[in-house]
Structure 1
Amino acid sequence: MDGSELLVIGGRSGVGKSSVANALHALLRDADVRHAVIEGDALDLAWPPPWEHRLSMRNLAAVWANYRELGYHRLVYTNTVSVLEADELAAAMGDGPRISGVLLTAADEVVDARLAGRESGDELAAHVERSARAARRLHADAPAWMPRVATDGRTPTEIARTIAELVGWVSADHPGPAAR
Structure 2
Amino acid sequence: MDSESHTDVIFIGGRSGVGKSSVAAEASLMLAEDDIRHALIEGDNLDQAYPQPWREGVDLAEQNLAAMWRNYRIAGYSRLIFTNTVSVLQMPSLTDALGTDVRSFGVLLTASDDTAAGRLAKREIGTALAEHVERSRAAAARLDTDSTVYRVSTDGRSVRDIAQEVLEAAGWR
Structure 1 length-normalised TM: 0.90
Partner of residue 137 from structure 1, selected from 142, 148, 162: 142
1:3-62: CA deviations, max 9, x gaps? Answer: 111110000000000000000000000011111000001111112211121100000000
Note the residue ranges of structure 2 that are not aligned, 5 or more in a row.
Answer: none
2: CA distance between counterparts of 1:62 and 1:138? 27
Amino acid in structure 1 at the alignment position of 2:143: L
Local SS of the residue matching 1:47 = coil
Q: What is the match of residue 10 of structure 2?
A: 7
Q: What is the match of residue 163 of structure 2?
A: 160
Report if aligned partners of 2:111, 2:153 keep a CA contact under 8 Å in 1: yes
Amino acid in structure 2 at the alignment position of 1:38: I
Structure (1 or 2) with the greater helix fraction: 1
Which moved further from structure 2: 7-16 or 45-54?
45-54
Report if aligned partners of 2:5, 2:101 keep a CA contact under 8 Å in 1: no
Amino acid in structure 1 at the alignment position of 2:31: L
Q: What is the match of residue 109 of structure 1?
A: 114
Q: What is the match of residue 96 of structure 2?
A: 91
Q: What is the match of residue 46 of structure 1?
A: 49
Local SS of the residue matching 1:37 = strand
1: CA distance between counterparts of 2:16 and 2:32? 26
2: CA distance between counterparts of 1:32 and 1:118? 31
2: CA distance between counterparts of 1:19 and 1:115? 13
Matched residues, number: 168
Report if aligned partners of 2:9, 2:82 keep a CA contact under 8 Å in 1: yes
1: CA distance between counterparts of 2:72 and 2:154? 30
Report if aligned partners of 1:90, 1:96 keep a CA contact under 8 Å in 2: no
Q: Deviation of residue 120 (structure 1)?
A: 4.4
1: CA distance between counterparts of 2:72 and 2:90? 21
2: CA distance between counterparts of 1:133 and 1:96? 34
Report if aligned partners of 2:13, 2:84 keep a CA contact under 8 Å in 1: yes
Local SS of the residue matching 1:153 = coil
2: CA distance between counterparts of 1:4 and 1:120? 38
Note the residue ranges of structure 1 that are not aligned, 5 or more in a row.
Answer: 171-180
1: CA distance between counterparts of 2:51 and 2:96? 25
Partner of residue 18 from structure 1, selected from 17, 21, 45: 21
Local SS of the residue matching 2:68 = helix
Amino acid in structure 2 at the alignment position of 1:16: G
> Which stretches of structure 1, 4 residues or more, deviate above 3 A after TM superposition?
none
Structure 2 length-normalised TM: 0.93
